[in-house]
Each structure stands twice: as C-alpha cells, then as structure tokens.
Structure 1
C-alpha cells in the first residue's frame, strides 16, 4: 500500500487557489449589482407616461416605474400659478383596459395628474404610491369590472368628477393621507380595510378655518355604498371630519366595523335600506333631516348612543359648528333644540316599529336626559314651580328606573330602600321580637349570675328565659314522642316548632350546658381555669350577639317589607320612632311600587 502522505495536497498548490477564491468573492461583492442587475423601478418623466398612456392599444399596462416631473414636461401641462396640471386623455376612442402595478407617481404638488375622458373596460391600480393629486374627470365604465384600487397609498387628494356616472368603484387595503372626493355619481362604491390617516402638514395648508371631510359623497347619487373595516383618524385636526353624506341620495348604505371622528348624515335620503353596525364615532353624527325607510333601517342604538347626534350649522367660513344641546348657549336656541329632539324621536319611532325595545329604551333615556338638562337651564334662567316639579321628577326617574325603562333597576333601588329601613328598625325597639334594652340586661344578668356563683345552670335559668318551658315539655311528651298514636307528619311539624322554641328562648342556657365550662364560682377558679373560662365566655357572647343580629335583621326586614308594600297591619305594630318610620316607609313604598308597576307595564305593552 502506498504511503498516505502522497495523497495530501501540495502546500504550494493550495495558496494560489485560496487567493483566487477570495478574489472572486471580492469582485462579486463590489460589482455584483452591476454584473447581475436587480429588477429596479424604471424612472420615467410625465411626458413619457403620457406617451405610453396614449398608445393605440386596447390594453395599457404601466408597471414597476417611477414617474417624476421634469422641466421638459411643462410643454404638456396647463400652466397654473403654483402648479403644472397634466391632463392625460386616451389616444384613441373605445373602451380600454388600464393596469398600474407597483408604480410610484412622485410628481409632487406641482404636477397633479388628471385622467380625462377615459372609457374603462377595466382599470386596476395595485401597489402604487401617489405623491401628487390624482383626478379622474368625465370618465365612464364599460363592462362588469369595477375600478379597482388595491394596496395603494395616496399622499394627496384622490378625486372623481364629471357628469357621467361611474358604474362601480372598489378600494381594498388602501391608505389615504388627505381626501377622497366623490364629485360624480359612483353607482356602486365599496371600501374595505382602508385607513384615512390625516397628514397634519398637508391638511394644515388647506383647512383655513373651514371643515374638510376625508371621504365625501356630498350631493351625489349612488345605488349602493358599502364601507367596512375602515379607520378614519384626524390626528388632532379639529376641522377634519370623517365621512360626508350631506345632501346625498343613496338606495342602500352599509357601514360595518368602522372607526370615525365625525359623520354627516345631514339631508341624506336613503331609498331602500340602511345597515350600520359596530360603528365607532368619537364626536359627532349630523342627523338633521335624515330620511330613511322605516322597514329596512337597521341601526342598533349602541352605534349612535352617547349623545353623539348633532345638528350641523355651516358658518360663512365653511366651518361646521355642531349643536348638541349641552351648553347654556346651545340650550337657549329653541329651534335647534327642537330639530335635535325631532331627529332623536324619529329614530326612537323606528326602533319601536321594528320591535327593537333595547334600542328604543336607550334612545328614550338619552332624549329624557337632554330634556332634563334643558329643564335645569330653564330653572336657572327663570324659576317656575311647574318646571321645578317636572325637573325633580325627571331626576328621580333617571336614578330610580332610567326614566321608566328599566324595571330591574327599579327593583334594585327598592331593595336598597328596604335595607335602609331594615337598619333603622334594627336600631329601634320592635314589638315583633321583644328585643329591647331590658331584654339585653336581663340576659346579661342571668349569665353573669351563673359565672359569679356555683349554682347549676338550670336553677339560674329556671323559667327566667323561657316562659313556655312547661308547655314545650308537655307538647314534646304527649305528641312528639307519642309514636304511632300521632301521624308522622304532625310529629315532624311538632319537632320543628319545639326546635324553634328552644332556639329562641334557651340558646344561652343550652350553650352553657353544652360546654359546662364553669361548675365552680369564678372566685374559686385557678388562673388557668379563669383563662379557659374567659375564652369560652367570649365565644358564648359572640354566638349570642350573632344570634341577636340575625333575629333582629330578619324581624326588621319583615317589618320593613310589610311597611314598604303597604300590606296593612290593622293597627301599627310599633310604637315610638318605629311607628313613624313605618308610616314614612309606607308612603315611599306606595310611590315606588306605583312607578315600578308603570315601568313594568310599559315594557310589557311594548312587546305586545
């Protein structure tokens, strides 16, 4: 066998190979991007974009490009004072399929783009970023495909305008930093999982004291509008509201799981149906002259509740001033106050007609809350006895039963009244249980007598604490232990009575007899026996106190219940302070039970 050493590589041959390998790695690192170019975006001018868009073709695709404004592009633009407007028209007539994929329109504010006069058979814009204002003017659609905008970011306004109606527009997973303005009839409009995140810099220069909406359908007509899972944030800009339906006419509106700052339904006319659920509006909902169908309006009150409804007043500057009947200045305006309550009552009537009692009750509570606030203002402005009584009744009804809409709450409040009077009765002497100051002193004297002397417990408590002892022994002997001479059910009932009697009258002697803790007089006990007896005495006293409290509470509660429900006693069973408490509680109970009955009947009749 040959020597293994001859198969080992020569060191002189290894070194050049290593250096060659390192050189290749270095070259690839430094010049790899040039040797193997990545699929980078092509940068083109606006004029080049216009040339490609006007190609004589039925299908136009612009993909993976960055469009930038250059000075040479000015000859294709309409000169404005502060910008160059580029209008892009089709190169030939007929419907076109237009696709934009992964494009970056980086023309800036100085070069807004307008697509004018296009007939789209299909139009998709996917994965694009637009720095400039983009408009679609006098465009129309042919065919069944919607104008689709998906995964795009719009840093400036997106606008649809013109006389022709667009059949269908769809936005999916898009981000808007300024406004989406529908200034043409959209036909069908769908938006899902989008975000409107107001750019404070871009909005700052255009607000100028007026109110702007991030999404506007102002004055337009549409067959169907569906906005779902969309978030609107104004980022602290007080004059930036979310969605504007002012004066619009829409057959069907669906809004599900949206978050908004302010929503304007002023003068909105809904023809066929409106469905709103999981809507979160943090500030205002304008509802003046909102018109919706009675049969197909499904807006649970938790979407509108929290005193968000408002009357939007438009100032000369274009700023919206919401009226909500909250401040004194607003409460002075009777006309706007009536308009606001009219909108509330209209929604409340819809809930009643649909059988949505929960929404009807909650909306009614909000109506009464506003009415109570205005009554308080009227009292402060000019005191009137009638207004004062109505105001106090409303305050009480709000506390007791949510303005007669919540029977459960009225029962809970009544129970608290019962417990309060139960406590008051417990602090006074009651003829029902005979537990007064003399009773406590008598029990104390007997117990102290047993501890002090060495007499048997039966001798000390003999007939002192149980005046019915002889009768109880007779009943026990003749009837309870009579065996088959008395029916078993009667014997069981007798045992229960006998137990209650012993528990009532002989608890203390039974406890002493059970422990038999001190057969000798206290003075004759050793130190250890005194400690032991002292502990047992404390336990017996605690047990007796618990017994007293339980019996006192039960009797006081029963007395309170009788007084509250005005069952009647024939004559009052109490004397002194307890008698007056019974009278007062009877009056309160009559009044509260009457309100509870009205509340309960109103809820029952609503379901009939």
Structure 2
C-alpha cells in the first residue's frame, strides 16, 4: 500500500510542479468571501489558485463575516445555507496562505468534484455541514487547527501535514462514487475511506468523535475487500470516541502517540492493525473490551495482503516467526499499559488473549516436532485455560473444584462407608424390624429399649455408683457428677417419650379393619418415606464430606471406604493437591497483580 501511495504522490507532485510553472497566477491578495464566490461561480472544469494570500477582514469585506467562527454562528449558518453554495468544478489550491489570527469556518458548501490543497499555510478554521462528494486531499500544509463538523466525505487523504489539531466530529465517511479527477485520474481506490499519515511532520491532536464509517458499496475492482481507514505517523494526542467502524477496517501504520491515546465507546467490526504502534503506558486509555477476543492484528500496508489480518490463527501464519513475535510484542504493550494504569480487568483479558496465541504456537510446534516435552507444554497450557484462564481467574478454579468434589461425592454415594454403614444388609435389618412390628404385639418403644438398653443401663449403673460412694467423695465432685448423669439420660427420656407418642400400631396387623388398615398404611408409608429421606441425606452428607476431605487432602486416618472407592479416593487426593496448588498460584498472582 505504501508503494502505491508513494508512486501516486510522485505523480501528484509532478502535476503540481507543472501547474506551478505553467499556471497563470491569481491575484496576490484575495479575501475569503471573494474566494468562495470565485469557486462557486467557476464554470471551468478546474478552479486553480496558487501563491495567494487570502485575507479575512469583515470590517472591510462585510461578506467575510458569514465565515467567521465566532459571534452569532446560527445566524451565519442560516445566511450561508440560504445561498446554496454548490461547487461543480475541481478545486486546486497550492501555496495559499491565510490570516492566522482569526478563525474561519466554511459552511454549507457542496463540492461535487475533488478538492486538492497543497502547501497551504496558516490555516486556522474548519468546515461545517460540507459535503466532499469526490474526496478531499491535503498535503504538505502548515495548519494551526482544522476541524470538520457534520461533514460527509467520499474519501480523504491527509499526508505529511504539520497540524495543531485535526478534528472530525459527527461526520460520515463513505465510498459510493468513483473519484475521477481531470488532473489526477483515479484519486482513490474504491475501498479507501481515508488516510491520515505523516512521515516527517507532527499532528498535535487527532480527534475522531461521533463519526460513522460506512460499509463498502462501490465495487469497480473486487468485492472481496472492505473499506479502510488508516492512521499513521507521529501524533501528540489521538482521541477516538463514540465512532462506528463496524463496517470498515481501522488500522494504524507506525503510529507513535507521544502523549495521550484515548479510544472509548466505539465499535470495531474488524481486527485493528497495530503495526509498529507506540504509546505511553501511563497516559493511554483504550477500552480493551473493544478489541478483546482476537481483534488485535498486524496488517501489511505494502500490499493487498493488507486485507488478510495477521492473527496467528493458522499454520501458515504461525510459520511466520517474525510477525508472530511482532504480534506478541503488541499484546505485551497493551498488557503492560493496563498494568501500569491498574486496570487489572483489562490486563487479565489481554493476558488471556496473549496466552491463547502462545497456545496456538505450541500446538503448531508440536505438530512439527512431536516430543514429550512439547506435548506436556501444550496440554498444560490448554488445561490452564480451562481451569483458571491462565491464572487470571482463581474464582473459576474454585467453581471447577467444587464441581469435581460433587462428582466424586456422587460416586462415593453408591459405595459403603464406615461412617454411616448404610448398605443392603443394613436396609434388610431395618425391614425385618418393620415385619416384626406389624406381625407381633411389640411397640416402637420396645425397639427403642432394645437398641438403647445397654447405654441406659450404663447410665443407671453410673448413678448407682455415685449414690453408693456419696459419703466417700468430695461434695463438689458429687455435685458435678449429678448434672452429667441427668443430661445424659435426658436425651433418651425425650426419645422414649417421642416413640410412645408416635405409636400407631396396637396389636397385630391382621386384626385391623379395612378402614384402619388404609389409615395405618398411609402412616407407615409416610414414616418409611421420611426415614428413607433421612438415610438419603445422611449418605449424601457423608459422601460430600468424604469428597471434600479427600480433595483438600486434610487427612482422616484410615480411608472410610473399601474396594474400588478406596483407590478412587487416592486418585481424588492427588487431583485435589494438583488443582489446589494451581489455585494458590493463581490467587497469589492476582494478589501480586501478575
């Protein structure tokens, strides 16, 4: 692309030089309103003005006031708009200088042919509500400030200008007409929205605010390309705000921002080229969400490969080691900038995208040289992406660890544990008790006494021993022992009371009437259901605790499971140790801000 532009501007320079030698000079002094009148009334195919000093003095030339940037702007707008300025010839200005102490604004002018400005001096002003239907070119000019508000462009080219501030606000850029110049031929290719670039000069500030860059609709060569807008060279400040690049490519070529670089609330539909970009880490404000997910790329500005972004996403691109390292360098510049600003959210997102590219390179290297070391490097990287987003998301690693704990807990649920001892034998034993309960005169409290008789007897023996030795013991020891017995026996008294009140089977089942059988069947079904739910929750809780204990490698002496589940517990312990180690490193890296 640069070769194209250099050859193109060589032709322009020759034409300009020829015009400079052969064109008849205009008057040496011309005031602004007369300049506009001459341009709009020109009936020739080209309006040429060279080596002229344009004055702006509304005290002498009253019509000049309509192009003043101060005062009653709404009134000036209405005056100029009523004049319906239409320019039907090409406009060529060379070596034209303006008064530098007053600000001018050209308003409501429709340029139906190309506008070319070469070596303009001391311009301070702008264009408001103007339409450049065949494009605008400004080259090698010395401009204090120039702005374009509510303007429409069919291609722009700003090259090697020394400008204080260049501003585009609420303007649109499109290509829907072929730009053919009598002097220059085809000015722009049909996908060139614009270029703002300097080789030796400096633009102090570039502002693009609330601008819309249109989708390509002009196809004279190929429909494979999108519209492009390129910014390159040296700038002090660059601000892009609330602009729409959804349908066009934005790219920078050796962009060097010396002070403030700000991009916010804009939309980018295609990867952004950052070839040779440089910016200050502590004074750059670039919302990373605008370019996350692989929208940082390199573009070859010297060929039609410009439209194929280098994203390091194919084997062919990954084999290009030079561009791979350059792309990694661009990501590192953004990453270090976000770290310097303390924007860890953007830094983490940028780091993840950077590691994604490195993982692609590892996959490519493994495909070329399948060694064990490359294999582990590749799949460890892939695992780190899955588990903790390359160490940037410790919360994600905790969530995945929790899912793993649940998975192993489900496995343990179906295997015997010495903690609850629930298995088929236990269930058969409980079922037999129900059989005895329904076919004999035994009551619920009888089953309770059988199960707890040994413990209750030991409590009673303890009570008797205290009573027998009362006179042989210190008073405080005896007084402390009595509450111990009472608290211990209270639990069993309450349970026994509960069983007595819960009794519903008085006699054998066969002796009940049909109505009583239905009622008691419902009660029995409810009891079995609640008891089954209790056993289920008990087993689930024990399985979960076992899984947590195993995963966290806290240790519990002998493993309370047998057979296959014992070996699974050992494997889970190793997995837990490995994952918790990675979680710890991830957490520490975030605490230390990577």
TM-score class normalised by the smaller sequence: 0.7 to 0.9
| Aligned partners of 1:209 and 1:239 also within 8 Å | no
Give how far 1:337 is off. Answer: 1.0
Change (3 A) 1:514 1:314: farther
| Aligned partners of 1:314 and 1:321 also within 8 Å | no
Give how far 1:599 is off. Answer: 0.9
Change (3 A) 1:224 1:428: same
| Aligned partners of 2:158 and 2:197 also within 8 Å | yes
Please name the residue that 1:182 is paired with. Answer: 158
| CA distance in 2: counterparts of 1:407 and 1:476, whole angstroms | 57
Please name the residue that 2:150 is paired with. Answer: 173
Give how far 1:539 is off. Answer: 2.4
Please name the residue that 2:136 is paired with. Answer: 158
| Aligned partners of 1:218 and 1:244 also within 8 Å | no
Task: Give deviations 1:454-496, integer Å, cap 9, x for gaps.
Answer: 53222345424897565689999999xxxxx989xx98x958x
Give the alignment's TM-score, normalised by structure 1.
Answer: 0.75
Change (3 A) 1:452 1:283: farther
| Aligned partners of 2:133 and 2:177 also within 8 Å | no
| CA distance in 2: counterparts of 1:472 and 1:555, whole angstroms | 30
Change (3 A) 1:452 1:202: farther
Give the alignment's TM-score, normalised by structure 2.
Answer: 0.76
| Aligned partners of 2:148 and 2:167 also within 8 Å | yes
| Aligned partners of 2:85 and 2:108 also within 8 Å | no
| CA distance in 2: counterparts of 1:112 and 1:281, whole angstroms | 34
Unaligned segments of structure 2, at least 5 residues: 1-25, 58-63, 68-76, 218-222, 467-477
Please name the residue that 1:257 is paired with. Answer: 242
| CA distance in 1: counterparts of 2:462 and 2:281, whole angstroms | 74
Unaligned segments of structure 1, at least 5 residues: 1-52, 75-83, 480-484
Matched, 1:530 2:517: yes
The DSSP-based 3-state class of the residue aligned with 1:383 is coil
Give how far 1:223 is off. Answer: 0.6
Please name the residue that 2:225 is paired with. Answer: 239
| CA distance in 2: counterparts of 1:564 and 1:338, whole angstroms | 41
Of the candidates 187, 194, 197, which is equivalent to residue 217 of structure 1?
Answer: 197
Superposed counterparts of 1:5-154, under 5 Å: 58=31, 60=33, 73-74=43-44, 84-88=45-49, 93-95=54-56, 97=64, 99=67, 101-102=80-81, 104=84, 111-116=89-94, 117-119=96-98, 121-141=102-122, 146-154=124-132
Count, aligned residues: 523
Change (3 A) 1:156 1:209: closer
The DSSP-based 3-state class of the residue aligned with 1:337 is helix
| Aligned partners of 1:315 and 1:321 also within 8 Å | no
Give how far 1:241 is off. Answer: 4.1
> What RMSD over aligned residues (CA atoms) do the two structures have, in Å?
4.1
Give how far 1:423 is off. Answer: 1.1
Give how far 1:346 is off. Answer: 2.3
Please name the residue that 1:341 is paired with. Answer: 328
Give how far 1:215 is off. Answer: 5.0
| CA distance in 2: counterparts of 1:452 and 1:207, whole angstroms | 106
Please name the residue that 2:557 is paired with. Answer: 570
Give how far 1:308 is off. Answer: 0.9
Matched, 1:397 2:378: no
| Aligned partners of 1:255 and 1:275 also within 8 Å | yes
Single out whichever of 292-301 and 90-99 deviates more from structure 2: 90-99
| Aligned partners of 2:254 and 2:275 also within 8 Å | yes
Superposed counterparts of 1:386-465, under 5 Å: 386-464=373-451
Please name the residue that 2:530 is paired with. Answer: 543
Task: Give deviations 1:118-174, integer Å, cap 9, x for gaps.
Answer: 5154332334444333333333336xxx4232334443312323x331111122233
| Aligned partners of 1:239 and 1:319 also within 8 Å | no
Of the candidates 171, 192, 198, which is equivalent to residue 169 of structure 2?
Answer: 192
| CA distance in 2: counterparts of 1:325 and 1:498, whole angstroms | 75
| CA distance in 2: counterparts of 1:417 and 1:225, whole angstroms | 53
| Aligned partners of 1:286 and 1:309 also within 8 Å | yes
| Aligned partners of 1:225 and 1:254 also within 8 Å | yes
Change (3 A) 1:271 1:446: same
Change (3 A) 1:341 1:59: closer
